Amino acid sequence: MFSTRATRFWSSVSVLTAKVRSSCPARRPSARHCLTTSKPVRTTFEKTTLPNGLRVISERMPALHSVSVGFWVEAGSRYESPSLGGISHFLEHMLFRGTETRSAQDIAREIDSVGGVLNAFTDREFSCYYAKVLGDKLPQAIDILSDLLLHSRLDPVDIEKERRVILQELHMVEDSPDDLIHDLHSESIWRGHPLGQSVIGRQKTVHSIGRDELLTLLSDNYCGRNLIVCAAGDVDHQDLVSRVEKAFHDLPAGSHVTRELAPDYRSELSIVSKDLEQVHLCLGCRGVSQVETDRYAMNLLNSVLGAGMSSRLFQTIREQHGLAYSIYSYLNNHSDAGALTVYCGTAAEDVPQLLSMTLKELRTLKNELISDDQLERTKEQLKGGLLLSLESTDNRMSRLAKSEIFLGKHYDLSALIEKIDMVTKDDMLQLASRLFTDENLNLQMIGSLDPAAYPADCLTLS
């Protein structure tokens, strides 16, 4: 239901930062002063597991009048067969087409009538259906969301309508090189593994998905052990549990999804020649997973490199040399694999210089310690961004769900801040030295380029 770009940005929310990646780095106020208080930063959450394995997790935010509630299903493109690529995304669309008692228009009217927001998105390792409403309207939101998951009609006529919608979405991505390049990059670094599959699918696979396949996915994956209901804001945990239990008491426990072995990271240089005004590129290297202890140092490395207006890439490539409007780095982390990716859009004639500068910054990070001042500023940036993002009920709810999915446990904010503070310059240097190697580099480009001008040996950190 999200657009492709919005889906990608929402789904890149990390367990650590719990915030949405933006293609245009925003100016942040300094967090230095707000974090020097001796008052501990505490968060409290409650978790209940129902008899069928469904997990209910909530965090009360007493000062707020709103609540965000999400129904998270461990069903995504990672768990799809190649012949049915995109089926999780297809099902997500179909659940909004109407239930046994509500038409699609009824669903829209009901959520609008309480001033709420209702949406969904699919990622590689989960699908999420969520609503944001005033606290006293939470019962209506739960009723609508549970109805979508439990009683959708999956009408054959609607399936054909939605197939056309998804095919148009695919065409939109193909016509948007700044979107397409990210999909090509993920496909390249994890080629041959389900993590490399497009979340939307391909035209051939979208055409092959029918009602029987959708019903099979619904019965196999939308079960108690794969479902997590999270809420943050003006919510009472016991009331939430009671309402969820009433709605899902007949839902079978089913079997928890199983993952294939972690993918191998692939090094590759690939160019798609296309007549465009700009060249769009993703330069990436191996990263860390959501569960590795190095993830705190990885977040700091990413911040130094390209996350924000003070980052090295933004300052060098945009501010000093004017080679690009959009330049940033981000982490593409999953349960057992990860990547750090630099995205940029620039003129074709500027690509060699831009690549040289980007590789130079990676080379510097793997060979030289950052200064004490930059380490301190980057930690404050990361901690400040974390705390500011958690003023949002959406981000709090998302953080609860992702911590449960990836870690199976939840950290108090004070503990997260402590882990960030514990990272040293040596930790960052050792991690960069291990990951930023020629064998881990992957470059994908789309634009008016001659592939012969970019031999494989042009991509080196030596």
Look at residue 376 and tell me if it is in a domain.
Answer: yes
CATH of residue 221? 3.30.830.10
Look at residue 36 and tell me if it is in a domain.
Answer: no
Q: In what order do the strands lie in the sheet with 66-73?
A: 46-49, 55-60, 227-233, 66-73, 127-134, 117-122
Q: Judge contact between 328 and 313, C-beta under 8 A.
A: yes
Q: Which pLDDT belongs to residue 457?
A: 85
Q: Judge contact between 297 and 268, C-beta under 8 A.
A: no
**Claim to verify: residue 277 and residue 230 sit in the same structural domain:** no
**Claim to verify: residue 441 and residue 385 sit in the same structural domain:** yes
**Claim to verify: residue 118 and residue 228 sit in the same structural domain:** yes
Beta bridge partners of 272: 446
- Which helix or strand (DSSP H or E) is residue 230 part of? strand 227-233
Phi-psi region of 18 (alpha: psi -120 to 50; beta: other; left: phi over 0): left
Q: Which pLDDT belongs to residue 15?
A: 61
Place of tokens 């997260």: 416
Distances (CA, A) of 312 to 75, 81, 286, 333, 359: 37, 40, 19, 22, 12
Q: Which pLDDT belongs to residue 42?
A: 60
Task: Please tell me the total count of domains within the chain.
Answer: 2
**Per-residue confidence of the chain (462 residues) as pLDDT tens digits?**
654 444 443 344 456 644 333 333 333 233 333 333 334 456 689 999 999 999 999 999 999 999 999 999 999 999 999 999 999 999 999 999 999 999 999 999 999 999 999 999 999 999 999 999 999 999 999 999 999 999 999 999 999 999 999 999 999 999 999 999 999 999 999 999 999 999 999 999 999 999 999 999 999 999 999 999 999 999 999 999 999 999 999 999 999 998 888 889 999 999 999 999 999 999 999 999 999 999 999 999 999 999 999 999 999 999 999 999 999 999 999 999 999 999 999 999 999 999 999 999 999 999 999 999 999 999 999 999 999 998 999 999 999 999 999 999 998 899 999 999 999 999 999 999 999 999 999 999 999 999 999 998 889 998
The phi and psi torsions of 270 (rounded to 5 degrees) equal -140, 140
**Claim to verify: residue 284 and residue 410 sit in the same structural domain:** yes
Look at residue 180 and tell me if it is in a domain.
Answer: yes
To the nearest 10°, the Cα dihedral for 415, 417, 422, 427? 110
Q: What is the pTM of this model?
A: 0.90
| Number of other residues whose CB lies within 10 A of the CB of residue 53 | 17
Q: Judge contact between 159 and 211, C-beta under 8 A.
A: yes
**Claim to verify: residue 132 and residue 55 sit in the same structural domain:** yes
**Claim to verify: residue 199 and residue 143 sit in the same structural domain:** yes
Look at residue 96 and tell me if it is in a domain.
Answer: yes
- What residue type is assigned to position 168 of the chain? Q
Beta bridge partners of 332: 339
Look at residue 284 and tell me if it is in a domain.
Answer: yes
**Claim to verify: residue 362 and residue 419 sit in the same structural domain:** yes
Catalytic residue (choose from 59, 74, 92, 169): 92
**Claim to verify: residue 242 and residue 298 sit in the same structural domain:** no
Beta bridge partners of 241: none
* Strand boundaries in 105-166, DSSP class E: 117-122, 127-134
Q: Judge contact between 166 and 206, C-beta under 8 A.
A: yes
**Claim to verify: residue 151 and residue 231 sit in the same structural domain:** yes
Q: 13 lies in which domain range? A: 4-24+46-248
Look at residue 135 and tell me if it is in a domain.
Answer: yes
Contacts of 347 (CB under 8 A, 6+ apart): 278, 279, 323
Look at residue 32 and tell me if it is in a domain.
Answer: no
Spatial distance between the Cα atoms of 457 and 443, rounded to a whole number of angstroms: 12
**Which one, of 283, 261, 260, 257, lies nearest residue 271 by Cα?**
283
**Which one, of 160, 168, 141, lies nearest residue 67 by Cα?**
141
Spatial distance between the Cα atoms of 405 and 71, rounded to a whole number of angstroms: 12
Contacts of 350 (CB under 8 A, 6+ apart): 323, 324
Q: Which pLDDT belongs to residue 456?
A: 83
**Claim to verify: residue 273 and residue 357 sit in the same structural domain:** yes
Q: Which pLDDT belongs to residue 285?
A: 97
**Claim to verify: residue 224 and residue 279 sit in the same structural domain:** no
Active site annotation includes 92: yes
- Please spell the DSSP secondary structure of 415-454, one letter per residue: HHHHHHHH--HHHHHHHHHHHSSGGG-EEEEEES--GGGS
Q: Judge contact between 258 and 221, C-beta under 8 A.
A: no
Beta bridge partners of 105: none
**Claim to verify: residue 120 and residue 236 sit in the same structural domain:** yes
Look at residue 440 and tell me if it is in a domain.
Answer: yes
Q: Which pLDDT belongs to residue 36?
A: 36
